[in-house]
DNA sequence: TTATCTGCAAACGATTTGCGGCAGC
DNA sequence: GCTGCCGCAAATCGTTTGCAGATAA
């Protein structure tokens, strides 16, 4: 319940303004959990205040990205998806068909991340990996 | 040396035409190894035949995608990257800084893919996963 | 010949930006 | 009141598409 306060405080601490638009957009992002697009946020935001523009949604998303509060991911489609960076690194398995997303714990990726480091000297930026595929209900039957 | 013939044969077998444009584009894709963009191909192709249009490059890429000869991946940027699907499923670790890409064997991902299946009943479409991060030479020193 | 390809230029969807006005601090 | 923010509309970027003419088979 007090979650959104922390987002707002983050803005204040950086000397950024807390405008009604930003507050509404932050609230919408929290309400829409999982992978959401700028349009998703825009659509929800419009219901409470129809005068908030799409450009502002994008500008706010940029801001949150810089503050490290959300992560961006690009799946098959041309549209960028965003997700709240609430509780440390986590990942998603996203269904190609129904778009449902399953949250995966970070440790599912640890062996891979460690292997990359030890064998390839590669530091994976595995804060939010997205794996595409098919969920239980949408699996090709053949 | 005879590699490109097989791509061309693939086209013929499906009753598709082997036009000079397609031959040139295929050659360019082979020459530019790793993750390439449509623009990369276009730029190279222009050198040998300036009259090939960008639309044709995109159309040929679509074709190769359908034939399963290339894979598409979306990294941080808005642009789509393509890679030749030469020898079965494989993956790439791509450096955020220098863009160098390290090819990873499929079995590095097997444990993860199996875990997704057994624990989440999720079938991962892990033909070509891209992991972003930093390579040995570009690692942040902090 | 004839269905498939091509080039061109216009359309497209997602995102960004310039600008004049507005409003948190 | 200053500075950062907003809404608007136009610009941009990557990609797709309609159409009429060209060409591989």
CATH of the domain at A69: 1.10.10.10
Residues of B in contact with A123 (CB under 8 A): 133-134, 139
Cα–Cα distance between B113 and A134 in angstroms, integer? 12
Do A15 and A69 reside in the same domain of the chain? yes
On chain C, which bases lie within 7 A of the protein's CB atoms? 4-10, 13-18, 23-25
Confidence band for A72, pLDDT divided at 50, 70 and 90 = confident
**Average pLDDT for B57-72:** 92
Q: Which domain holds residue A119?
A: 89-142
Integer Cα distance of A95 and B125 in angstroms: 10
Number of domains in chain A: 2
pLDDT of residue A75: 75
Q: Identify the CA nearest to A44 among candidates A30, A34, A55.
A: A30
CB contacts < 8 A, A to B, total: 88
pTM above 0.85, yes or no: no
**Per the CB < 8 Å rule, is A123 touching B133?**
yes
One domain for residues A42 and A75: yes
What pLDDT is recorded for position B68? 86
Sheet order of strands, B130-134 included: A123-124, B130-134, B91-95, B101-104
**Measured distance CA(A130)–CA(A90) in Å, rounded:** 10
Q: What is the DSSP letter of A96?
A: T
Angstroms from A129 CA to nearest CA on chain B: 8
- Phi, psi for B25 (deg, rounded to 5): -65, -40
Predicted pLDDT at B124: 87
Comparing CB atoms, the residue among A112, A123, A136 nearest residue B121 is A136
CA dist B40 to A26, A87, B34, Å? 39, 39, 11
- Given A87, A112, A134, which residue is the final one in a domain? A87
Question: Higher-confidence residue: A141 or A50?
Answer: A50
């Amino acid at each position: 319940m007090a979650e959104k306060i922390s987002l707002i405080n983050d803005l204040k601490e950086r000397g950024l303004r807390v405008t009604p638009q930003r507050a509404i957009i932050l609230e919408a992002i929290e309400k829409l959990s999982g992978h959401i697009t700028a349009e998703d946020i825009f659509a929800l935001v419009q219901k409470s205040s129809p005068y908030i523009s799409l450009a502002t949604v994008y500008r706010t998303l940029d801001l949150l990205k810089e503050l490290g509060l959300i992560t961006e991911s690009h799946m098959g489609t041309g549209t960028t998806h965003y997700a709240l960076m609430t509780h440390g690194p986590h990942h998603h398995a996203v269904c190609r068909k129904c778009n449902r997303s399953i949250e995966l714990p970070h440790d599912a990726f640890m062996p891979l991340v460690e292997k990359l480091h030890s064998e390839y000297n590669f530091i994976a930026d595995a804060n939010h990996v997205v794996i595409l595929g098919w969920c239980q209900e949408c699996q090709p039957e053949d």
